[in-house]
Structure 1
Amino acid sequence: MSKPRIGFHLSTAGGVFNAAERANQIGANTFQIFSSSPRMWRPARLEQVHCERMRELRKNYDCWPLVIHTSYLVNLCSQSEVVRAKSISAFHGEIERALALGAEYLVLHPGSWRGLTREEGLRLAAESIAKSLDGLNPQINDFQILIENTAGAEFSLGSSFEQVAELIHRLRNVAPVGACLDTCHTHVSGYDIVTEKGYEETARQIEATIGAKAVRVWHTNDAKAARGSKLDRHEQIGRGTIGVEAFRRLLNDKRFAHCAFIAEVPVEQPNDDQKNVALLKSLVHPTEKAGKPTANRANRKQSVK
């Protein structure tokens, strides 16, 4: 099998392509970025030369997939028509930039359905994603929109595997879609991934709802808060309430061997990004490290399906 894809969420300061340089420097062979400010409606403009440089560097460094995280402001199931319209426009821009950069995945938090029913929230999210695709052709570059599970807040869409699966089901004929699962979100929303027995039961629930093959990315984050707390607070890997053994099980689980594993933990000290990537890589069993790197996009496409 090809080597595991392990990386980090990185800054694009100085030009989006700099994230690819940083990924290579810290020993990552995949990475995630924001394509624009995650807390501003006004999008950044990507220079074509920067997009081309990003593609060139990723090819040179055998660094894939590129994962883009959607802005935190986007709420595609908002009860407010104004917010929903702004979110559709913003998500349209996210897809445009992802395609320009040649990104394989665009991660989305569907939003909050506060003031509505959960059924209405699911319907609006699916309709809004469909509208966001107007005039675009996402059927290229092995591109997929990934629905991320959330930490379990009361009105947050995607707080259970069943909700993620339902939204994917509704979108199956609209857009190329899959799932991104976050270890911290999974833990604090109430699933047990800490104990060996609990991890296996959780993995079986993923299989029964979303399907392991539909999961393309794992956000590998430890948690500051307790299981079931619904508090989304990321911690350095191995220092939180999840602990290092859960990550060892996940990284060596053949059901998720096709996934990219990307940490989104705080960088509190110099090289914390590099240290977390190195720790994750050290947890992969020697037999799983063996294998030739994938040589080209055609082989990559086969390896993740």
Structure 2
Amino acid sequence: MVEHEPSAALFTLADLNGDGTAPFMDLEDPRYAYMFGFLQADGHLAQGVGQKGRLTVELNARDIGILREFQQLTPYYSSIRERTRSTNFATSHHSAIWTLCSLKARTQLNRLGLPYGKKSVKVAPPRVRFSRRDYLRGVIDADGAVGYTGQGFPFISLTTASTALGAYLCYYAKTITGARRTIKRNTRDGIYNILYTKEAASQLGADLYYPGCLALERKRVAASSLAAWERPADMKVISDQRRWKAWEDRVLLKLCDAERAAESLGRTQKSCHMRLWRLRTGRVMMPPPESPAL
């Protein structure tokens, strides 16, 4: 089975600009790709009366450095201010807010895929050519986590409501690490929680947080430490196996041919042969019958 990259480029930045020139937010530039991913995850684009509106990003004051980088990358006037307020999590929260009001800048960001208003479910990878790892690093810096679990294992995670973003991270991480993830919304709040640990986290971190990249300093430091992790000699390696689903078992039993099933299911002939043998010998349970269509 051939896997296709989600959100393939459908048009160029020159198409957006209309005059063949490279506009603000050229996403083939690693810095802008990172910035756009960060804005999709942690920015808010508000539309006012007429042509009024603004883009804002509010972060913990410890991360003010990245807002200054965004300000330097933006060829339009923007401002950064700080404030201290009470929140549900702290009686005194010190934050930094970057504000950009330029209509031209907002229009470009909106065309590239940063919606006005609520966006958590709507956002998706750009439909122009873009620097993939820089874009994903921006998303993870804003809505993800990098570090070590309580057991001391390296991890990289992303929490998102967007199916498109979650699927794209899974696709990209598989090309880098070989680790397969199937996204599923949690039942509590309908959010995707995507997690990579151990070798997969170490490899993904080394790819995303390469030397000299634009990133939150604290996450860059955390990612650099992941590369030093080594699996203890007595820790068993558990392969990242693709579990068999009931519908796949039904297809396998119906075809009764490992070669044809492998082609149909996108699995190896060996895997299909062994699964068919286990089903026939009772080593695994037979799948339940398919529910009749209503």
* TM bracket (short chain): under 0.3
Higher-Rg structure is 2
TM norm structure 1:
0.26
TM norm structure 2:
0.26
